Amino acid sequence: MVAISRPAWISDVVCRLWGDRGSLFDLSSQLREQLSTIKPQSAELRLLAQEFFQTATMTSHPDQRMLECIKMLAHSELISWTDFLRTVTGFAHFQKSRCVVALCALLESELPHLQCPFSHISDCLAMTEAVIDVFVWIVEGILASRELDDFEVVDVEGTLFQTFTVFLSDPFVFRLMSLATKKYGGVIKSSIINRLDELQCQDGVTLNYEELLSAFQRIFDPPKYESSELTIKYNFRRSGIRSLTAVFSCFRVLAAVEEVADTMLLFGQINAISHHEIVSDMLHASFMILLEEQETRDNCKSSIEMFFYVKMPRVWAAMIKLGMQPESVVRGVQHMVSECRQVIDNVDSIVKDNTIRAIVRQLISERVMSDADGDKLIAQRNEQLKMIQGLACLTRDDVQRQTQVAVVLSAVQARHVIDKLWNMQEKLMTVLTRLIGSGGYAFDAFCSSYGLEGTLAEMSSKLASLNLLSESPSNVCVDRNMTFDLSFTMLTRIVYKYSNLTLDELVRDPRGGPDNTACAFYQWSSRYVKRISCHSQDHADSDLPIIPPELKAAYKDRVLRLKERQLFWDPHTCNYGQLLHEMPIVGEVILDCFKERKHIEEDVSRIFAAFRKANCLLVCIIQWLECQVPSEARRQMARCIKMVLEESVPDEKEEKDRWLFTRMVCRRQLDEMCECDSVIPPMTITLMAIAKRSFPTLHRRQVPDKEMLKKAWLYAQRQNWASPNVLHLIDHCNRAGAHKSWFEFYMHHMMKLRCPDVMNRAIETICACLLLEPQETLITACVLMVDFMMDKKSQVQFEVPYVIPLVKLLTQVMLMSVWIIDREYKKVNAWRSGEPRQKRAKIANDSQIHPSIKILQETIEVAVNKFVKESSQGSLYQPISSVCHIVRMIAGAPESEAKQLLLPYLKHLLFFQLARLEPGSISFELFATFCDPANEDHDLEKLKFLCLLRKSGGL
């Protein structure tokens, strides 16, 4: 550093002011007048301050007027507060006790005004060093004062001790010293801590240096951000995990075990739910679903039981691998057995099984629970069953062989057998024929076992290959008629049961097998299977081919032959692909009979009964009929088919099983076509809906309207979870592309609840519903809420506590979004790492990332950019309050992997802008939450932010 010579005017100014004994106001006026005339540079002003200081302390009695001049220079920003501190701490004549006391008083009085510019890190570091020098100076002064004999009886040591305490108690200084521990830790320990430690051991010490040292050492463990609870937490039962269990057991049944376990743990983390509570809630939800849904949702029955008996124990095993303690499973099951006995009793009486014994034995087989713990739970449950007269028999082990769990476990075993028989057609058909017995429940369980492993598409593609092979008589196929009929009907059942899978996913082998899109099933289903989707199929009715009258007349004789049970096709030589193309003509001929009312019910019944040899043709007629315009003739024809399926059951076992399976496959379609439309639409009366807990019926392809959504909302609020019935409505909205309609509706109804605690309870339910179709729904939710909260004209109440639940919902949406994004990138990276190096080089960096994941990531980034843009306007209004609530909610969220993933998305610029607008709303600890402790650049950012808070009045 180049030394600057002291200008002559400095001494003149000091002497003139020292000699003038006017008031402080006159002194200030003269100083301003002198400096305005001279116009000194900053370096010269620092020299002026040093000259004032030397003049003030040149005798044993300090000159307060000269010290006031130094204060005037600092307050006028002619010198920095850093220079002010350096000037004071440059005093080394500790034998001048009155000067030391005066300087301590000066430091304490000016402590609230200490600040520095934050735009340049060099200024912030200089302030840090100056504050450290203050503590070093005080400790040196204490040591020096203990060695001096003070004849003037001035308590220098006590004064320095007090100044040390005052400085350490200042929030700005304390945080500044905490930040300095990384860069200046050695200086702090050697010059301050070690010397304070020495003072404790000296003789004649009357002050409590041990307490002072303990207080100072807290800078190495600064306080963390703590969110303040704005409402009382009432003991509401958790709804999120139970709703999420319904999602994975009835809808996202193809999700891998690891994905389910990971999602459950994430949901538990972001909602502060302990592991044993997760286990208990999953088990409770499974019992509720078994109790309420097994008769009302036959499509999901096998999936529910497969989840309960097989998948859920595997999920808990995966959760243990991810960090959950095995004791949590035992504790969760124990809680369920003790506290929810009535629910378990009701389920056991319906399924005629000791369900707790069944699930515990599965837990033992998966090595989730020890034999000793399992035996205790089974014994406890047996004691409960013995007290109930009708259930006491369930304590015997031999009962289990006749229950549904046996069917589920045998379906898992059947999958392993069939996997070995796909190339042995004769044996394969024998096993498949057995699966459609008992009304098709075994086949549903069989499909669920493939869904359990995530290989359902592989199995259905093999059925499609059989369908293609048996279509033409030129192909070599064992029992071609049976093979085509069974494969077609089974694939139709899979299409209806797993509505979230597309036809292409069902017939194409995901592992790269043969293309089966040429099979008759795919060609027919692409045109005539009606499924709900974001692309409305209403216009498809007009695309159906118009059959000329002469062609119908030619086929009329063929159809009439069916009355005499004479088939108009040869099962051995016909091409089934061509035969299916004739079914619309056959359907038109039969429908015309109903339109003209010339049919005789007995004759028509014999026509439909003639399809016993080829049930798939009857399935095609039903699907074609569903595509026709609703009319009385269509309804009468559907009723006739339904009656035939129920009453004309063949006697021969093989035909009977196929006939009953066909009836099960088409039951729901026929029921909906047989229904009469309501003349007057029902009106929802809120109080009545709450009292009755009524739930709207939903057709297979119906998109719920607002009345249905309202009933489902009231039902979910009273039940305190989203049951499969509620999720069924939301699932229809999602598949129809109406994500916005249901989420916006439920978001506004949540705000109408008024009570913050009840609103918080509803948040868990809504978040679980969002995971039905995560990517698209989370995108919609994030966009809607951000736009709603950033809208200056919005009518939402932004006052606490009404805004808090909405902010919490947005926070959880963002947490789940970044977690899903991270999991998708990890999955793609794992896939790439498994590819050969040559092939890996040809793959683009993001070629395998799903487009919806990219959009979701962009949505989060755009949301944060909106926060930054709004805060940069420089004015404080309602959206800014929302942004402050959002960052506080994110910082106060329970620690989780998702939170660590979200923190980097929040730009530091946002916090600097918010601190300028409202310093009191953004604390230093809050900002520190969004910084990486291992990142040195972030340490500097924290230092700048701390200085900004001090300068803005936040500290």
CA distance 2 to 292: 86
Residue bearing the bigger pLDDT, 381 or 438: 381
Q: What are phi and psi of 848, to 5 degrees?
A: -100, 0
Determine the pLDDT at residue 229.
Answer: 55
Determine the pLDDT at residue 440.
Answer: 80
CA distance 380 to 354: 12
| Sequence-distant (≥ 6) Cβ neighbours of residue 602 within 8 angstroms | none
CB 481 within 8 Å of CB 528? no
**Can you give 481-493 as a three-state secondary structure string?**
HHHHHHHHHHHHH
Please say if the pLDDT value at position 439 is more than 80: no
Please say if the pLDDT value at position 660 is more than 80: yes
Ramachandran region, residue 463 (left: φ > 0; alpha: ψ -120 to 50; beta: rest): alpha
pLDDT bracket for residue 1 (50, 70, 90): very low
Give percent above pLDDT 90 in the chain.
Answer: 43
Neighbours of 686 (CB within 10 A): 10
CA distance 862 to 868: 10
Please say if the pLDDT value at position 206 is more than 90: no
Q: For residues 501-506, give the mean pLDDT.
A: 89
pLDDT bracket for residue 614 (50, 70, 90): confident
Residue bearing the bigger pLDDT, 477 or 345: 345
Q: For residues 732-752, give the mean pLDDT.
A: 91
Q: What is the largest CA-CA distance in the chain?
A: 134
Alpha carbon of 340 to those of 244, 247, 431, 807: distances in Å?
19, 22, 40, 34
Please say if the pLDDT value at position 942 is more than 90: yes
pLDDT bracket for residue 296 (50, 70, 90): low
pLDDT bracket for residue 350 (50, 70, 90): confident
Please say if the pLDDT value at position 36 is more than 90: no
**Can you give 759-792 as a three-state secondary structure string?**
HHHHHHHHHHHHCCCHHHHHHHHHHHHHHHHHCC
| Sequence-distant (≥ 6) Cβ neighbours of residue 87 within 8 angstroms | 46, 49, 50, 53, 70
Please say if the pLDDT value at position 908 is more than 90: yes
Determine the pLDDT at residue 344.
Answer: 93
pLDDT bracket for residue 231 (50, 70, 90): very low
User: Minimum mean pLDDT among 155-159, 191-195, 421-425: which range?
Assistant: 421-425
Determine the pLDDT at residue 599.
Answer: 60
Average pLDDT of the chain, as a whole number: 85
Model confidence pLDDT, tens digit, residues 54-88 = 888 888 889 888 898 888 889 888 889 999 999 99
Determine the pLDDT at residue 683.
Answer: 55
Most confident of 146-155, 618-627, 692-701, 790-799: 618-627
CA distance 739 to 859: 15
Determine the pLDDT at residue 245.
Answer: 95
CA distance 696 to 715: 10
pLDDT bracket for residue 283 (50, 70, 90): very high
CB 275 within 8 Å of CB 897? no
Please say if the pLDDT value at position 199 is more than 50: yes
Determine the pLDDT at residue 845.
Answer: 47
Determine the pLDDT at residue 840.
Answer: 47
Give percent above pLDDT 70 in the chain.
Answer: 89
Grouping H, G, I as helix, E, B as strand and the rest as coil, residue 513 is coil
Q: Indicate the burial class of 462 (C-beta count within 10 angstroms; 0-12, 13-18, 19 or more).
A: buried
Model confidence pLDDT, tens digit, residues 810-846 = 999 999 999 999 999 988 887 777 655 544 444 444 4
Please say if the pLDDT value at position 914 is more than 70: yes
Determine the pLDDT at residue 843.
Answer: 44
| Sequence-distant (≥ 6) Cβ neighbours of residue 734 within 8 angstroms | 742, 772, 773, 776, 777
Determine the pLDDT at residue 39.
Answer: 81
CB 350 within 8 Å of CB 393? no
pLDDT bracket for residue 684 (50, 70, 90): low
* CA-closest candidate to residue 730, choices 750, 752, 720, 745: 745
CB 798 within 8 Å of CB 881? yes
CB 240 within 8 Å of CB 767? yes
Q: For residues 430-459, give the mean pLDDT.
A: 86
